[in-house]
Structures are given as structure tokens and as C-alpha cells.
Structure 1
């Protein structure tokens, strides 16, 4: 059979492309043709209409709403989450085959559903449990926030490196003193100081959107377009009152539910046309902004101040324990919700104004990134040390995992976890926790929110950082080797399933 597929994940980085590869390889092994459109962070190349027309069925492996879904109207369709395709592509393909054989094809959608939409992508399952929907709302906000974090954080980190070269030891302080007005009127292309200040100002502007974007797209996931305005405005006010990312979370949920509630008011037919344009954004923004300013903002800001003070006072065993906990979270689900909670906790700490070179927030960021590198590196190492414990497909995945782990892409260990979940995840948690604790003990710091070894110049005490990663990866590899050595079934028995990974 011929299938077309669309894959997408909240961050659009790893799961999107891993699901595509899994579907293509599984289809080829089963004698089917699968052509995939990846709707990732880098955009997508739409499937050729002739390829869609020739397809027998459609597979949607997506955690976001499929863009231009109407192109696939009239064909048997399977709609699953992206992780289903990563973990068990064979089962997803079997569902698609069954859908084609069951026939007839579903009725085409209405003309409105066939029109391409430029709306931001999100996907919240209406029939899902409350916990699942809350997770999907949060992941929608985080998915749109991460590019701002990465761009702003790396630009600011680069500005400090250049500032130290231009001003000397106190460059990190000097660069913050150069105003945007100075750059507008006096910028010199031959001045390293001005370039450092330019990077800092642009990075700061990107970072300034972090909380509003988080709040705006949480609200959007809850209420669709009516939630965008109250979410963004509430997030901006959260920044103004010093409520930080906790305020952004509160503003996102508050604005989203207010907009959703108002949009469901039974109003006269003549008023319906102005509801989404005037009434909903006006009322929901007024109430959200007012509550954030006079009711919620101050207590949340006080909580953020207490959290900042607590982080600043971390030392010794308490700092190491925090590193262990965050490290274990990074290794818990390899890019899933728990991993993202730890990552967002670290990256939002980078937005704290006036961080010293040895600030606890920078140590936390270093611990989180180092821990996130461990699982794929540990699996890659294990496939080299004890090849007999791994299938040929796993050994091939291990070669790619070296680069993925070095680049801080935790999802590089997912193909291993898909075949042997508890052993791989147990070893990932242990190895990542060891690395997180060691980084905090060594006092390594990091100003960049992503990049792995490619941002080594931005790491404070880089040799200790690398040592912590190596030790954690070795522990991870050792644990998984021991656990796999204890299993009863030989690896050869797993070969057929591994071929579909």
C-alpha cells in the first residue's frame, strides 16, 4: 500500500523527525511505501498533491494540529501522537492498513476545512483527561517559548564573551551599561564593544518575549485565537510586576479560561460578529490584566523573589541535591513533560537580571544541559562496550546518538527506550542524576540555554563540565549493560522488533 504521513511534536526538533524515519523504515520493511511531511521547527515542505492523490491512506503522528489538513480529505486516516510512531511504528502502520481495508473512506470535510490556515499550530484532545489537557496546554506555550529562549540566551552569552575580550575582566558589567540609544546614533562597525552591546540588546529583546509568549500560547491552546490577547498582555504585566515565569503560567491559564468562558456567552445574533474582534479581547484582557496587577502579581512576585533568594543561597549538599533532582528529571522521559519542566526551570532562570558570573541560576543551567546529554551518550557508549547486548538496529542508532548527545538532544536515546523502556530509562535517570549532582558540586556555569559541546566557550569551568558528562554517561552505560545482562531473552529475539525502530 501507499501511505502519506505528517509528523510534528511540540518543540519541532527531535520527535518530529524520529517519527518520520521510523514510519518510513517500518513501511519499507513491511513492503509499503510511506512518504512523510515533517512539520517541524524549521518549517515543512508540503507533500506533492499527486503523491497525496495516489495514497491509499493517511497517517497523522502529531502532537500539534496538522497544517492544511483538508488536503487529505476523503482518505482513510489514522491520527495518533508523535510518540506512538517513535515507540511503535509497526502498530501505527498496522492501524493504517486496517483503516484502508475497512473502507469506505470517510466523507470529505466541508469547504471551510479544506482551506489552508495560517493559524499557529496546537493540538489539544477534547476527550483527554484533565491532566493530559493541562500538559498539552503547557507544552503548547513551551514549544513557542523555546526559540525565544535559545535565540536570546545564546546572543546574550556571546555578548559577554565578546565584552570580556573588548573591556577586559569587567566586560560583563560594562556591556550592560551601553544603551540602545547609543547604538542607534553612535554604532561603529569596527568597535568590538559596540558589537558586544548590540548582541546584548538584541538578545535581551528576544528574552523579553519569553514570559508573554509562554502565557499567550497557553491561553491560545485553551481558547484558540480569543485567548492570544489576554494571554500576551497578562504575560507582559507579569514581567512588569516581577512575577516572572510563574506569573506567566498564571496569566496564560487565567486569560485562556476567561476568553473561553466569554466566547461561550449566549449573545444576540447581531452581536456575534463583534464578539471575537472587540468584546472577547476587551473584557478578557481587562480582567486578566487587572487581576495580574492588583491581586495575583504581588504574591507571585514575592514567591519568585523567595525562589531567587533560595537559589542564591544554595551551597554544598543542598546545591548537589538540587542538581541530582534536576538531572533525574532530565533523564526521566527523554524530552517529555518532566524533562521539559526541568529545562524550563533552568532557562527561565537565565532571564534573571544582573546574574553574577557564579550565580546559582547559571550552575543550574549547566547541570540541566549536562544531564540532558547523558542518556544518548550512555546508550552510544554501551553499544560499543557490549555490542552483543544490542541488536544491529540499536548499534546503528548508537552511532547517531553520539552526535545527538553531544548536541544536547536527549531524544537521541528514545529508539533504545522504545525497545526496552524500563532498563533504558532506569539507567538514564541514574546517569543523568549523577551528572547533575557533579556539575553543581564542581561549580560549572552556563549562560547558553542549548547547544551541548558546541557552546563550550560559554561554559564556566568547562573541563569539570565535560568530566561530569563523561562520568554520568559511563554510569548510564554501566547500569544499562548490567540490567540487560540480567534479562532472560537473548538479543537475537529482539532483532525483528528492532528492525522497526
Structure 2
């Protein structure tokens, strides 16, 4: 029996982090090994590994899609993989780790981190930086969106009454939280590119994008401009050793903020504002048929990789439009993100003979994740049978997205699943919205049930 310690982490620190940890625990139990897994979630590290845990461990497994500091594991055999691979087959990961984990001494740790960063940059590049920004705005958007939704519970125009609770909630959500969305998005994109010196010019560029009216597109551009300008300055400016301390606190923030700000004001801001205005008008004036096609595309994107790059791209698109008072894509995206785990959960109930006892139990968990708008609940089933499950969930989510847009459903809260539905005025065309979710769930359940072979 081997003693194993592991760390799991994903960019957003939500579903993949914990699903990878659970898969590793199940795998270790099946193989008869002892394991302790530290999860680096959005709320911080949980089940933290102690020095004693590490000292007693035979191997260390790092299942992460983001940087994890490995200095504390110096001298231990380390095996590195992704959360996706760990989720798919925990047993295989542990077996592979026992064969291929390599011992690293302290002087070699820096090299490993550098190699890992290079692989990460080659694998994701622009996407990695964008997702760093998106992951940091999700809590802001969710808190702000729910405050706005609660303000509408008092009436659609209640927030216009000065001094009322509805007005205060709108001020918190719309006036404060949503005002921070674009600057934080830009700031952390720049931070991902250039580390701490990129944060200030990114925040300033994002704030200017807000003021100009360039919206989330302007914020994304501002973040990348600020980040790469800062990175370029960092590499090209060489100061005497006695003055190097001024680089991160004075030279880099000042020069990169000036460059980013002037580009936003005089070159980039106005054209991007024009694009955002055109996009907003086009979406609001879209015909029913075109709206359904857009909903179908967004819905399918939500199910293609269940929390991966394509899913996050659709979500980021819908969230960005909330700041322009365009609420229909957000409704389609959340509904379509709920249907994969819900459809699979229903399939485990109506076609019990096509699922193992463990899968039927997992179906109950998938139902809870589905109603909470955590699409990743479908991943274990998709990983076990991708050729049958993935097309089924894509079809169901596409139907839900298309129907939601066809019915002109709107959603003012960017998260929450079914728990935001009872809030008055949070969802437009609530009855049809529920129909869209049910329809996609039924399509997914029917296809999964029809395609999967009997297990017993």
C-alpha cells in the first residue's frame, strides 16, 4: 500500500478542482492505497497538506490546470497531470504516477516550474490569460447580478424610487459590482501576462473602457495591451541594481499605464465602442429565427466541453452583454448549462438497466449540480462513454438554448440555477424558460437512454 498526497486546482477553483479530487480518492480506494488530497478552490486551499503528510508520502500527484507551487514537495517523487485526465480515470492516473513520478531536488524545482509555465503558455496562451480575467470577475458578476435581480423583486421600476431598498440593491449590484467587472477583467488579464506590475495598467485600461463605453470587448483589449506593454517594458528597461526596486512600483506602472491609457483614449476605445453599440443593437433587434439560431449555437457550446474553453467562451460572451442591458443570451447560456447533468440524471432514473449502481448514485449528484448550473456534473458520464453521451448532451443543450432565445426569455442574474427563478422579475417569460429547460433535459435523457447499451 502506497501513501499518496495530491493537489488539485483548476482556473476557476470550482467544479473541476473537486471532481478531480473525488476521482483520485475513488481510484486510490479501489487500488488499496492511502491518499490525502488538497483542493485549491476559489475560497482557498481546503484539506491542506501538512509537513507531516508530505514527509510520510511515497509520491505526490499534482492534477492542475493552473500553476501550483511545488517547493514544499522537494525531494519527493512528483507526477503532474491535468484535472480533466484525473476526472476521467483516477485509477489510471494513480497507476501512472506510481510508475513515472520523478524525484526533484530543491535546485530542480525552479526548472520544473519554468517548464510547466512554458507548457501552459504553449497549450493555452491567450485563452489562459483571458480565463484568468474571467475567473476573477465571476464572483463579482454573480454577487452583482443577484443584487440586481433582488432589486427587481420589488417591481421592475422600483429601483427608480430614490432612497428605497430596491434602489440601494441596484446601486450595490449595478452601480458598484458591475462597474468593477470590466476593470477587474482587464486587470487580471494583464496580471496573468505580466504578473503584479501588469495589474495597475490593466485596471486603469479597463476603467477607461467603461468610461468610453467600449464594454467588455474594450476591457479584454485593454487587459492584453496593458499586459504585453508591461512585459515588453520589463524585458527592455534595465536599471542599476540600486534602482531596481523602483521598477515594479514606479517605472512599470507609470509607463505602461500611460501607454495603455493613451491607446484606449485616442486609438482603440472609440472603434470598439462602435462595435459594442452595433452588437447590442443587432442582438436586441434580432428576428425570432436568428435569435433561435444564436441560442442553438450558444447552447451547444455550453455542452461541448462542459466547463472547458468552449463552455467558458459562451458564458463570458453572455456575461459581457449584461453590462449592455442585453439579457437574452444569459438566459440561454444558463439554461443550456443546466440541461447536461439534468438530462443524464433523468436518464439514470428512467433507464436504470443501462447504468451501474455507482452511475445511478452519481446521477443523483448530477441532478443537484444541474439545478445549481454546474455543467461539470455531466463530465464523469461523458468521460466514461463520450461517443454516446457528448452528442446527446450537445443536442439537449442546443434545443434548450434555441427555445430560450426563440421565446425571448431574459435573465438578469448570471448564475444560481433554479434558485433565481422564484425571484420576481429576475427571469423574463418564466413559464417558457422552464419549458425550454425541461425540453432540453428530455432530449438529452431520451438520447442517452436510447444510445447506451444495457448493463444488466
* CA-CA distance at 1:109 after TM superposition: 4.7
2:152 touches 2:158 (CA, 8 Å); kept in 1? no
Structure 1 partner of 2:37 = 36
Q: Distance in 1 between matches of 2:109 and 2:402?
A: 56
Deviation digits for residues 9-41 of structure 1 (CA, Å, limit 9, x no counterpart): 111111111011000110111111110111111
Q: How does 1:39-50 map to 2 (within 5 A)?
A: 39-45=40-46, 46-50=48-52
SS in 1 for 2:323: coil
Q: Is 1:7–1:61's contact at 8 Å kept on the other side of the alignment? A: yes
Match of 2:437 in 1: 469
Aligned residue in 1 for 2:298: 326
Name the stretch that deviates more: 264-273 or 89-98.
264-273
What's the offset of the Cα at 1:124?
7.6
Note if 1:225 corresponds to 2:196: yes
In the alignment, is the contact (CA less than 8 A) between 1:401 and 1:412 conserved in 2?
yes
Alignment of 1:280-295 (within 5 A): 280-295=252-267
| 1:435 positional shift | 0.6
For 2:239 and 2:418, the matched residues in 1 are separated by: 60
For 1:139, the equivalent position in structure 2 comes to 131
Which structure 2 residue ranges, 5 or more long, are not aligned? none
Change (3 A) 1:131 1:291: farther
Counterpart residue number, 1:483: 451
Q: Aligned residue for 1:427?
A: 392
* 1:346 maps to 2:318: yes
User: 2:12 maps to what in 1?
Assistant: 11
1:274 deviation in Å? 1.7
TM-score (normalizing by structure 1): 0.85
Residue 313 of structure 1 corresponds to which residue in structure 2?
285
- For 1:57, which of 39, 56, 59 is the aligned residue? 59
Conserved 8 A contact 1:124-1:137: no
Which aligned pairs between 1:351-362 and structure 2 lie closer than 5 A?
A: 351-352=323-324, 355=325, 361-362=326-327
Which of 405, 429, 433 does residue 440 from structure 1 map onto?
Answer: 405
1:139-169 superposed Cα distances (whole Å, 9 cap, x missing partner) = 111111111110111111101112x1xxxxx
Post-superposition offset of 1:174: 4.6
Q: How many residues align?
A: 446
Show the counterpart of 2:335.
Answer: 370
The aligned runs of 1:189-268 (5 Å cut-off) are 193=164, 195-204=165-174, 205-265=176-236, 267-268=238-239
Shift of residue 136 of structure 1? Answer: 1.1
CA drift at 1:92:
1.9
Q: Which runs of 4+ in 1 moved over 4 A?
A: 109-113, 128-131
CA distance in 1, matches of 2:249, 2:240: 15
Counterpart Cα distance in 2 of 1:131 and 1:110: 22
Aligned pairs (5 A) from 1:103-118 = 105-109=103-107
Structure 2 residue aligned with 1:278: 250
CA deviations 1:410-447 (Å, max 9, x no partner) are: 00000001111232111111100101111122222211
1:175 maps to which of 140, 153, 159: 159
Q: Is the 8 A contact 2:5 2:60 kept in 1?
A: yes
3-state SS of paired residue (1:267)? coil
Q: Cα offset for 1:241? A: 0.6
Q: Check the 8 A contact 1:176/1:200 in 2, yes or no.
A: no
Residue 495 of structure 1 corresponds to: none
State the distance in 1 between where 2:100 and 2:294 align.
48
Offset, 1:267:
1.4
How far is 1:381 from its partner? 1.0
Confirm whether residue 396 of structure 1 aligns to residue 361 of structure 2: yes
Indicate conservation of the 8 Å contact 1:57/1:75, yes or no: yes
| CA shift for structure 1 position 460 | 2.3
- Does 2:268 align with 1:296? yes
1:71 Cα deviation after fit: 2.4
Equivalent pair of 2:338/2:370 in contact (CA under 8 Å): yes
Tell me, in whole angstroms, the C-alpha distance in 1 between the residues paired with 2:108 and 2:214: 45
8 Å CA contact 2:70, 2:109 repeated in 1: no
CA contact (8 A) 2:151 2:158 kept: no
Q: In structure 2, how many angstroms separate the alpha carbons of the residues matched to 1:62 and 1:452?
A: 27
- Where do 5+ consecutive residues of structure 1 fail to align? 114-122, 165-171, 184-192, 356-360, 493-501
Determine helix, strand or coil for the equivalent of 1:44: strand
Instruction: Within 5 Å, give how 1:89-108 maps onto structure 2.
Output: 89-100=90-101, 105-108=103-106
Cα contact 1:124–1:136 (8 A) shared by 2: no
1:235 and 1:248 in contact (8 A); partners too: yes
Give SS of 1:10's match.
Answer: coil
Q: SS at the partner of 1:408?
A: coil
Q: CA deviation at 1:125?
A: 3.2
Deviations 1:101-143 (Å, cap 9, x if unpaired)? xx6x321259999xxxxxxxxx983135656222211111111
